[in-house]
Amino acid sequence: MIAALLRKNRMNKSNYNSDSFLSTLFFSVLLFSTNAISVSTENFKLSNDIVPLSQIVELKLNPELDGYSGTTTIEINITKATQNIKLYSKNLLISSAIIKNKNNKNKTTLLTVGSTSQYDIISLPTKNTLPKGIYQLSLSFDGKYSDTGNGLFKVTEKNNNYLFTQFQAMLARSVFPSFDQPNFKIPFQLKVNVPKGYLVVSNTPQIQLISHNDWHTFVFEPTAPIYTDVLAFSVGKFDSVDIPEMKIPSKLYVVKGKLPQTTYAIKHIGKIFKEVESFFTIEYPYKKLDMVAVPNYSNAAMEHVGLIYFKEDFILLDDTPSIRQQKYSLKLIAHEIAHMWFGNLVTMQWWNDLWLNESFAEWLAHKVVIQIFPELSAELDLPQIRSLSDDNVNNQLPVRRTVKSKADVDSLGGLVYGKGNAILNMVEHYVGEDIFRQAVISYVLEYRNKNASLQDFVKHIEITSKKDLEGFFSSFLEQAGFPLLSLQRNNDKLLISQSPFKTNNQVLTQRIEQKNHNKNKKPQDMSWQVPLMIKFLTDDNIITRSVFLNKESIELTIPKGVKAIFPDANAVGYYRYILPDEDEKFIKNNITRLNDAEKLAWLNNNEHLTKIAKRAYADVLSVKLALLSDLSLNKKIATDIIRDIDYSYTDFIPEAISEEYSRYITRHLSVIFKTVKWNSSKKETIADKALKASLLALAGGRLADKGAIKFAKANYQDVLSEQSSLDSSMSNAVLKVVAANSNEDVYQLFELAYLRTTNSNLKSDILTSMGYFTSLDIVTRYYNFLVSGKVPTDEIGYRFQYPSFNPALRHHVIDYIAVNKDKILKHINQKQWFPYNFYTSCEEDIRIKVNQTFSTWIKDIPGLKEKLNTVDETIKQCIRSRTKNISQLQEQLLK
């Protein structure tokens, strides 16, 4: 769950409108003049003494080979006389470099190729000083295709070779020499030579096709000014389909043979596009918008200007996708389209503001899905729930922090999406939806075709809302963690005070960004500026009041007759709170007074408080079980509760009491299990199906329910052979339940079915459920299979977690990893995330073994140390929480 989602959720970037090549050049010059004030002494950045204005890249690509060659011409403005041209180049062989003054083209200066810095900056020194002026820099180079899904990478599907690009982050430099920084937004023109028979698509429309012998040259229109990350091209013998209801040319490209799987996507893309565009006052800023379904893609998606990439599984859905798959896919499409404005039209100044790209895209995508697909109840997917849980680990870093290298960008992780989205929800709720939209629109208008930073957005929101919000943004984005609000009553007074939420008393030295004004700040000084919307509940009324907590504590007067104070109206708060006991009790007994989102947020708050012993796990569990007996309960909430109980076996309940715990749960859910009909009926909604699937997984996977296991065993062969009529959520649960209750013979069938099917979603489900078999021998066999070369690189790393969800298998899992380190490292991508396979562990001996094992990996893998620390801290937190809660839970189980 955590690690897989963490990685699967990582999405990437994308684009805008070209008036003309000339005007875009003009923009770049303007851009330079504003950049000149920024600091130029940082050795991880290029200086502003040499500014790119436009770039032509010509490549000769034969997908049958392992490498390629290319030339590039970059128009640059030298603003300060220099003897050394610097730009980025990584793993490229540069064979020549010359520079000409634009006004004196006869005078050519040959450059030597000097050293490359640790930040991939290559030096091209000259003998004579180059005076100020506009120049053309031309380079010839050779490179290799990658097989890791990065840079320019090759994928082979059914004996056909394809080439795709992935430049985010800091990877364009590994494909051609470039000024590979987000603040250099310039027009690019691509000319791609490929053997006849191959098609090339890129960000802009093709303007020419030149034929010579066995080769074709695809010439594309120059792009609008864009940054390198969102430049892209794909080469292959693609199938394609027009996307209907689009106002601009738009096609979906797939690898040969996959057209039948495009039905779901093309039915919805047009609607989503229209809804996203209608939010802005600026029309879609580019000439076309194509999409590509990329097999075995290492990202979920990437917002290249005019050419969005999606991981195949996320855009090519089956005929009966689950509610989860639908929401994920639709939101991903909306997120990438939203990037055309957030990220592409307005681009972060530097990587430290990646959240500006990601959080806004995520925020708008969520809105759009809620708006046009009400049947999916996406309003109950609260972004803060997941982020608060990740953000409370003690060594977590701020969302906005120094970024120097690719490893720094890669380490930014899910909070850049989720926490940023939650922060935007909170401020939107505080200033009002219309005012917030006005601010966003005026910000996009001012910075279109340019770059922006946090301060630029704050300026707009402060002007439109007439509120001082700098402290709000800075306290939530430049500090890690979040506040714990304590509410105390004293007669008719309410005292609200804040302190950092922390699960132990350890000094939290890493939590504060290394900004100057924070340098001497100690963790105990941490405070936040928090907008709160409070609901005062009386017996028959609700009074709401908006409050801005900008100091340690504030005092309010409580209206007459108030029975309970609920400090998270509409469930947008990025904080935790402790209520007076009487208030908490009133809410518990009158839970229907809260709306559905508030119910979820309140439950989650209570669950979180168990980690610091401010609530008992046993109490929270009994509230959840009581809620489940209410038949009018929203299906999505019921599904979440069932899933939480299922997950508790992984990361909370000790093996020693798990049987007792199962009996207790079975007792409380017996009515539901007796009445549920596992076979589907026509009347079921998609939400009913999701609930039933979560029940099946819990009953058959954890509670040894005979009916559930029997149903799963009767159906799994149909699922494996694609004959089943069950929807994807049920098929998925069926496979997991069978795996948890079967032996080697059945495992063999799973493996064969995995190799046989070409359906990428089914493949993914089978591979995951193979991790749910419970015998040690099968776990070994599963891991050997993962690293056998039969599974694509990007599908391997996080799948090591599934056996380790089972506490009884954890020792075996860590032993396997320790012995097979070299074999594993050879086969996985994003190696720094590997320790996350133990994120859900909760035992001291496992924690020690995990540290021992991975400490030998640290020196080889940048960024792994930090990930290991997070995992270590998360396990410690779970152990502490378990210790605090276990005796009370045991008492409860006996009742």
Q: From the annotation, which residues make up the binding site for Zn(2+)? A: 335, 339, 358
Single-letter code of the amino acid located at 669: L
Q: In terms of Cα–Cα distance, which of 473, 499, 471 is closest to 485?
A: 499
523 in Cβ contact with 398 (< 8 Å) = no
End-to-end CA distance of the chain: 31
C-beta of 220 vs 309, nearer to Zn ion: 309
Q: Is 415 in the site for Zn ion (CB under 5 A)?
A: no
* Token output for 874: 């998360």
- The Cα 34–Cα 27 span in angstroms is 11
Q: Rounded to 5 degrees, what angle do the CA atoms 38, 43, 48 make?
A: 40
CA distance 122 to 78: 17
Taking the complex as a whole, how short is the minimal distance between the CB of residue 343 and Zn ion, in angstroms? 7
Task: Report the Cα 169 to chain-centroid distance in Å.
Answer: 14
What is the torsional sign of CA 17, 181, 300, 218? Answer: positive
Span interacting with Zn ion, options 6-14, 31-39, 747-755, 783-791, rule CB under 5 A: 6-14
**Smaller CB distance to Zn ion: residue 359 or 438?**
359
Secondary structure (H, E, C), 550-561: CCCEEEEECCCC
Burial class (CB in 10 A: 0-12, 13-18, 19+), 514: exposed
Please, what is the minimum distance in Å from the beta carbon of residue 299 to Zn ion? 9
Cβ(597)–Cβ(422) under 8 Å? no
Q: Is 217 exposed, middle or buried (0-12, 13-18, 19+ CB in 10 A)?
A: middle
- Shortest distance, CB of residue 535 to Zn ion, whole angstroms? 34
Among positions 801-820, residues that touch Zn ion (CB under 5 A) are: none
- Of 434, 421, 428, 464, give the one whose Cα is nearest residue 279: 434
Residue of 2, 3, 10, 11 interacting with Zn ion (CB under 5 A): 11
Least separation in angstroms between residue 399's CB and Zn ion is 14
Site for Zn ion in 306-365 (CB under 5 A): 358, 361
Smallest separation, CB 339 to Zn ion (Å) = 6
Query: Does residue 531 contact residue 548 with C-beta atoms inside 8 Å?
Result: yes
Least separation in angstroms between CB 792 and Zn ion: 22
Nearer to Zn ion, 358 or 866 (CB): 358
- Of residues 479 and 830, the one with the C-beta less far from Zn ion: 830
The 630-669 site mask, x for binding Zn ion (CB under 5 A), equals ----------------------------------------
Q: What is the 3-state secondary structure (H, E, C) of 803-869?
A: HHCCHHHHHHHHHHHHHCHHHHHHHCCCHHHHHHHHCCCCCHHHHHHHHHHHHCCHHHCCCHHHHHH
257 Ramachandran zone, left/alpha/beta (phi>0; psi -120 to 50)? left
The SS3 call for residue 363 is helix
- CA-CA distance, 225 to 55, in Å (whole number)? 10
Tokens, residue 230 = 């969102």
Closer of 230 and 762 to Zn ion (Cβ):
230
Q: Which is nearer to Zn ion, 266 or 348 (CB)?
A: 348
Report DSSP state, residue 491.
Answer: T
184-185-189-192 Cα dihedral, nearest 10 degrees:
70
Task: Work out how close the CB of 783 gets to Zn ion at its nearest, in angstroms, rounded to a whole number.
Answer: 32
In the complex with Zn ion, which residue's Cβ is closer, 113 or 361? 361
Residue 134 to residues 46, 101, 112, 244: CA-CA distances in angstroms? Answer: 18, 6, 20, 45
336 catalytically annotated? yes
Q: Which is nearer to Zn ion, 11 or 696 (CB)?
A: 11
The DSSP bridge partners found for residue 123 are 86
Looking up tokens 């209520």 gives 579
276 lines the binding site for Zn ion (CB under 5 A): no
- Give the total of residues touching Zn ion (CB under 5 A): 3
Tokens for 663, please give them: 């009996």
State whether residue 841 is helix, strand or coil: coil
Q: Give the integer Cα–Cα distance in Å for 308 and 329.
A: 13
Binding to Zn ion, residues 358-397 (CB under 5 A): 358, 361
Kindly state the smallest distance separating residue 300's Cβ from Zn ion, in Å: 9
User: Are 138 and 98 spatial neighbours (Cβ–Cβ below 8 Å)?
Assistant: yes
Chain position whose Cβ is nearest to Zn ion: 11
In terms of CB distance, is 11 or 50 closer to Zn ion?
11
Structure tokens at 66: 């392992």
For residue 850, give the DSSP letter: H
- CB nearer to Zn ion: pick between 230 and 697: 230
Closest CB 344 distance from Zn ion, rounded Å: 11
The type of residue at 367 is K
Binding site, by residue number, is 335, 339, 358
Q: Which amino acid is at 319?
A: D
Q: What is the residue whose two structure tokens read 């890690």?
A: 480
Nearer CB in complex with Zn ion: 12/183: 12
Decide whether 178 or 357 has the Cβ nearer to Zn ion: 357
H or E stretch at 617: helix 617-628
C-alpha closest to that of 181 among 170, 197, 192:
170
Which of 275, 336, 478, 866 is labelled catalytic? 336
Burial profile 874-887: b = 16 or more Cβ within 10 angstroms, e = fewer: bbbbbbbbbebbbe
10 Å CB burial of residue 864 (0-12, 13-18, 19+) is buried
Least spacing, CB of residue 335 vs Zn ion, in Å: 5
Instruction: Provide CB contacts within 8 A for 695, sequence distance 6+.
Output: 642, 672, 673, 676, 708
| In the complex, minimum distance from the CB of residue 303 to Zn ion, in angstroms, rounded to a whole number | 6
Q: Which residues are catalytic?
A: 336
Q: Which residues bind Zn ion (CB under 5 A)?
A: 11, 358, 361
